[in-house]
Amino acid sequence: MKKFIVIGNPIKHSLSPTVHEYWFKKYKEEATYEKKFLEEKDLRKIIKDIQRNQITGANITVPFKQKIIPFLDELSLVAKETLSVNTIYRNNNKVIGDNTDVNGFQNSLSEHFSKNSIKSTLLIGAGGVSPSIIYALKNLNVGQIFISNRTEEKAQLLKERFGPLLSIVPWNDLANKNLYVDLVINATSLGLQKEETINLNFSSFDKKTIFYDVIYNPHQTSFLKKAESLGYQTINGMMMFLYQAQLAYEIWNKQKPEIDTKLLNLVRQN
Ligand code: ATR
């Protein structure tokens, strides 16, 4: 029997088991998928278990996507470029780290934008998920990414890694800045708590600007609520989450599972 896990801290709210178990049943795969709450000191042991084939594969979530890297034998190209690993598998006795968040984010946008139609974006946040978003936006040939982060040095580090595509907007300028962008992305953890909002001049954007929040739980963060109340189209992180899970499943089980209506209903209820 194949055995999969998702590791993180916190991990209670992860919907990954729901999604993978749904697909195991649908495709008659004999497998289990469990959540594991871990401390950083347990990372080495988990990788050993994958090495010994006691665990078939793992998803990695906050705050371990970068911290897991030193324990792995090899990284995929995307994992190397983003320094972020969310999917682990074994190949020829080596433990490989991959990143399916990039693909997840990219696919989630294809439902809203045609090819090459995103000219510029504003990315708010420079934490764990931001390198994957920037990498995906690069793949989509986005011409300009404005980035703003409370701790500006972290945005600066991303600029050093990804080059002139990025322009830094000081955090305190967000409130009075007028930017012409096709897409505004919230990649901060602000909004997990209901009262928090980003000090952004929401009404200054073009009516066609789309607002995206990588958070999927709650389904509508205060960031998206504010944008929607002003008439903007909004996207939450649910499809990104499902697409990253879909690619992870395909890597592990050599079959691309379907994101069908029943699955969508299942995750939307949770
Ligand atoms: P990490 O930075 O450890 O990878 P993360 O959850 O991936 O953690 O990222 C958190 C993001 O939300 C960061 O961009 C963080 O800004 P800082 O880099 O300044 O910490 C942002 N964030 C979290 N709480 C915030 C707050 N109260 N105000 C503004 N930004 C906040």
Q: What is the mean pLDDT of residues 157-170?
A: 97
Q: 56 CB contacts (<8 Å, ≥6 apart)? A: 2, 3, 4, 31, 50, 89, 90, 252
Q: Which of 35, 65, 159, 226 is catalytic?
A: 65
The Cα–Cα gap between 178 and 239 comes to 29
From 186, 180, 226, 187, select the one nearest 207 (Cα to Cα).
180
Q: Is 126 in the pocket of ligand 1 (CB under 6 A)?
A: yes
Burial (CB < 10 A; 0-12, 13-18, 19+), residue 160, is: exposed
Where does the pLDDT of residue 253 fall: very low under 50, low under 70, confident under 90, or very high at 90 and above?
A: very high
Task: Determine the distance separating the centroid of ligand 1 and the alpha carbon of 188, expressed in angstroms.
Answer: 5
Q: Tell me, what's the pLDDT at 197?
A: 79
Where does the pLDDT of residue 115 fall: very low under 50, low under 70, confident under 90, or very high at 90 and above?
A: confident
Q: 205 CB contacts (<8 Å, ≥6 apart)? A: 179, 180, 181, 184, 232
The Cα–Cα gap between 10 and 188 comes to 16
Q: Is 117 in the pocket of ligand 1 (CB under 6 A)?
A: no
Q: What is the mean pLDDT of residues 77-81?
A: 97
Q: Is 203 in the pocket of ligand 1 (CB under 6 A)?
A: no
Q: 82 CB contacts (<8 Å, ≥6 apart)? A: 99, 101, 102, 131, 132, 135
User: Residue 211 pLDDT > 80, yes or no?
Assistant: yes
Q: What is the mean pLDDT of residues 95-109?
A: 98
User: Residue 84 pLDDT > 80, yes or no?
Assistant: yes
Where does the pLDDT of residue 194 fall: very low under 50, low under 70, confident under 90, or very high at 90 and above?
A: low
Q: Tell me, what's the pLDDT at 257?
A: 98
Q: Tell me, what's the pLDDT at 249?
A: 98
Task: Determine the distance separating the centroid of ligand 1 and the alpha carbon of 127, expressed in angstroms.
Answer: 6
Q: Is 181 in the pocket of ligand 1 (CB under 6 A)?
A: no
